[in-house]
């Protein structure tokens, strides 16, 4: 991590009243949850996630998609929040306004203690009916794979937003408002290519916010934001929060 780059970013954070944050798969990497862009290992290495996380894939092979989600749920259920998730809880306590916008479908921000989260892409642990997208309680699920709703007969699917699907409009509107109103926007562990989330840091830039990126690799945002902190979220975030609020 570049210590010289840390101080000006920490200074911007210290002066901020409203901080908005977009997080992606990279923030959970140190918790052992693989990102989509990382090479996949083991059982599922031969499938591209972009080809499993779509309504078309579920229509084509519902069992395969359900089993992939069951595997991811198991993996995530065993994972613990890392120092990056915890640093964001410390940071929230220091600010007048804090808007956390995760793209992740894991529960690690919640486990760390973050509150009022704008979950853009749903949750791995939610189940919804395929046709009307209503949530289903586990006692209403049949035992087949994928299960059906015993009340309506509808097939059940994971409660996540798949590639090509619309985001929950109220959640997206709140995220866009935060991006336009914040003084500092952090983009953490996201490839910044999956829309509409990828546009949020650019909206913040257009509205005059200071944008800080935390990512070991370059993204389409890197050349546009004021501060780029190259490194792992689980290392950079605690260092950034400690530099901004040494008393924390
Ligand atoms: P992505 O997989 O496309 O990109 C991950 C990004 O994280 C990359 O830019 C990579 O350079 C960066 N990264 C890798 N290790 C990092 C680390 N230790 N610290 C910081 N950054 C690191 O993920 P995305 O941009 O979030 O978009 C893909 C979609 O898939 C999103 O909806 C995402 O939430 C979902 N997804 C979720 C999970 C999860 O819930 N944990 C895991 C994989 C993918």
Q: What is the mean pLDDT of residues 115-122?
A: 95
Average model confidence (pLDDT) across the chain = 94
- Verify whether ligand 1 is closer than 6 Å to residue 23 (CB atom): no
Catalytic residue among 109, 121, 148, 227: 121
Query: Can you give the pLDDT at residue 58?
Result: 95
Closest Cα to atom 16, ligand 1: which residue? 26
- Residue 64 has phi, psi (to 5 degrees) of -60, -45
pLDDT value of residue 214: 98
The per-residue pLDDT for range 192-213, each reduced to its tens digit, is: 999 999 999 999 999 999 999 9
- pLDDT on residue 169: 95
Question: In the structure, what pLDDT confidence band is assigned to residue 228 with cuts at 50, 70 and 90?
Answer: very high
Is it the case that residue 217 has pLDDT exceeding 90?
Answer: yes
Q: How is residue 170 annotated by DSSP?
A: H
Provide mean pLDDT across the span 121-140. Answer: 95
**Residue 117, class by beta-carbon neighbours within 10 Å (0-12 exposed, 13-18 middle, 19+ buried)?**
middle
CA distances, 84 to each of 136, 185, 206, 227, 248 (Å): 32, 16, 27, 18, 15
Least confident stretch, 9-23, 41-55, 86-100, 145-159? 41-55
Residue-level pLDDT at 40: 61
pLDDT, tens digit, for every residue of 64-117?
999 999 999 998 999 999 999 999 999 999 999 999 999 999 999 999 999 989
Of the candidates 120, 104, 101, 27, the one whose C-alpha atom is nearest the C-alpha of residue 72 is 104
Q: Is the pLDDT of residue 1 over 90?
A: no
CA–CA dist 236, 214 (Å, integer): 7
d(CA 103, CA 105): 7
Residues 135-142 have a mean pLDDT of 95
In which band, very low, low, confident or very high, does the pLDDT at 233 lie, cut at 50, 70 and 90? very high
Around Cβ 141, how many Cβ atoms within 10 Å? 15
Name which of 141, 140, 145, 120 is nearest 69 in CA terms: 145
**Predicted TM-score of the model (pTM):** 0.94
- Which residues have a Cβ under 8 Å from the Cβ of 64 and sit 6 or more positions away? 47, 52, 57
Contact criterion met (CB below 8 Å) for 101 and 178 = yes
Q: How many CB atoms lie within 10 A of CB 157?
A: 23
Q: What is the pLDDT of residue 34?
A: 86
Residue 206 CB coordination number (10 Å): 11
Measured in degrees and rounded to the nearest 5, phi and psi for residue 31 equal: -90, 0
Mutational pocket test of ligand 1: of 1, 22, 23, 26, the residue with most ligand atoms within 8 Å of the beta carbon: 26
Identify which of 22, 31, 36 to mutate to test ligand 1's pocket (most ligand atoms within 8 A of the CB): 36
């Amino acid at each position: 991590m570049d210590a010289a780059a840390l101080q000006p970013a920490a200074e911007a954070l210290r002066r901020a009243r409203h901080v908005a944050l977009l997080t992606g798969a990279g923030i959970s990497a140190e918790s052992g949850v693989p990102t989509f862009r990382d090479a996949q290992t083991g059982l599922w290495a031969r499938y591209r996630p972009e080809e499993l996380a779509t309504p078309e894939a579920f229509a084509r092979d519902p069992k395969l998609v359900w089993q992939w989600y069951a595997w991811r749920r198991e993996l995530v259920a065993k994972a613990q929040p890392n120092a990056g998730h915890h640093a964001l809880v410390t940071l929230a306590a220091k600010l007048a306004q804090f808007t956390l916008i995760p793209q992740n479908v894991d529960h690690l921000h919640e486990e760390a203690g973050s509150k009022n989260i704008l979950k853009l892409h749903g949750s791995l642990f939610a189940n919804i009916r395929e046709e009307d997208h209503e949530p289903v309680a586990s006692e209403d699920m049949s035992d087949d794979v994928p299960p059906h709703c015993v009340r309506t007969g509808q097939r059940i699917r994971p409660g996540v937003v798949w590639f090509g699907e619309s985001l929950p409009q109220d959640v997206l509107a709140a995220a866009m408002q935060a991006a336009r109103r914040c003084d500092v926007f952090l983009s953490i562990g996201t490839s910044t290519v999956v829309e509409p989330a990828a546009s949020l840091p650019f909206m913040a830039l257009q509205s005059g916010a200071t944008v800080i990126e935390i990512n070991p690799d370059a993204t389409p945002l890197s050349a546009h934001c004021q501060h780029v902190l190259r490194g792992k979220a689980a290392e950079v975030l605690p260092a950034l929060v400690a530099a901004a609020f040494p008393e924390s």
